[in-house]
Structure 1
Amino acid sequence: MNDERAVSIAKRSRARKRRYYEMGPDYSVGGRPGYWLEDESILPPYEVFRLPASTAPASFVFDKSKGSLPYDLEPYYGWWLISDRTKAVLEGLDPEAFVFVPCHVRVPQGSYHGPDYWLCDVVRVLDALDESQSRLIIRIEDNPRSLDFGKKVYLALPGSKRVFTEAAIGKAHIFRMAHAEADVICDQDMKDACKAAGLKRIRFKDVSKP
Structure 2
Amino acid sequence: MSGAGAKPKKVYMLYSSGNYGWEFANLDSLQPDGGGLGLNHRGTPWPDSMLALPRGPWRIPEYLEKPKLIFDPKRKVQDIYSVDYFLFISDKMKRVLDEFAPKSCEYLLCETEFSNGKIGPTIWLCSVVDSYLNAVDVENSPLIRVTRGGGYMISGGADWCFLPDALKGAQLFRLVEYAVAIFCDQTFKDLCKENGIKGATFQQVGFLKEL
Which structure has greater helix proportion? 1
User: 1:51 and 1:9 mapped to 2: Cα distance?
Assistant: 39
Of 172, 182, 191, 1:174 maps to 172
User: Does the 8 A contact of 1:135 with 1:160 survive in 2?
Assistant: no
Change (3 A) 1:130 1:118: same
User: 2:107 and 2:39 mapped to 1: Cα distance?
Assistant: 20
Shift of 1:198: 0.8
- Paired-residue identity, %: 26
Shift of 1:186: 0.3
Specify the alignment match of 1:197 in structure 2: 195
Shift of 1:71: 0.6
User: Does the 8 A contact of 1:35 with 1:69 survive in 2?
Assistant: no
Aligned residues: 183
Pairing of 1:33-182 with structure 2 (within 5 A): 33-40=20-27, 41-42=29-30, 45=35, 46=38, 48=40, 50-52=58-60, 54-55=62-63, 56-64=65-73, 68-112=75-119, 115-127=121-133, 128-140=135-147, 150-182=148-180
Structure 2 SS opposite 1:207: strand
Encode CA deviations 1:104-162: one digit per residue, 9 max, x unaligned: 212233432x641111111121121111221223132xxxxxxxxx5122122233510
Pick the structure with greater CA Rg. Answer: 1
User: 2:96 and 2:61 mapped to 1: Cα distance?
Assistant: 19
User: 1:120 and 1:43 mapped to 2: Cα distance?
Assistant: 17
C-alpha RMSD of matched pairs (Å): 2.6
Q: Compute the TM-score of the two structures, normalised by the length of structure 2.
A: 0.75
User: 2:99 and 2:61 mapped to 1: Cα distance?
Assistant: 18
Change (3 A) 1:43 1:87: farther
User: 1:105 and 1:172 mapped to 2: Cα distance?
Assistant: 32
Shift of 1:59: 2.0
Change (3 A) 1:185 1:58: same
Change (3 A) 1:206 1:35: same
Pairing of 1:19-34 with structure 2 (within 5 A): 19-26=10-17, 29=18, 31=19, 33-34=20-21
Q: Compute the TM-score of the two structures, normalised by the length of structure 1.
A: 0.75
Structure 1 SS opposite 2:201: strand
User: 1:155 and 1:24 mapped to 2: Cα distance?
Assistant: 19
Of 164, 184, 194, 2:182 maps to 184
- Which letter maps to 1:161? D
User: Which runs of 5 or more residues in structure 2 are unaligned?
Assistant: 41-56
User: Does the 8 A contact of 2:162 with 2:206 survive in 1?
Assistant: no
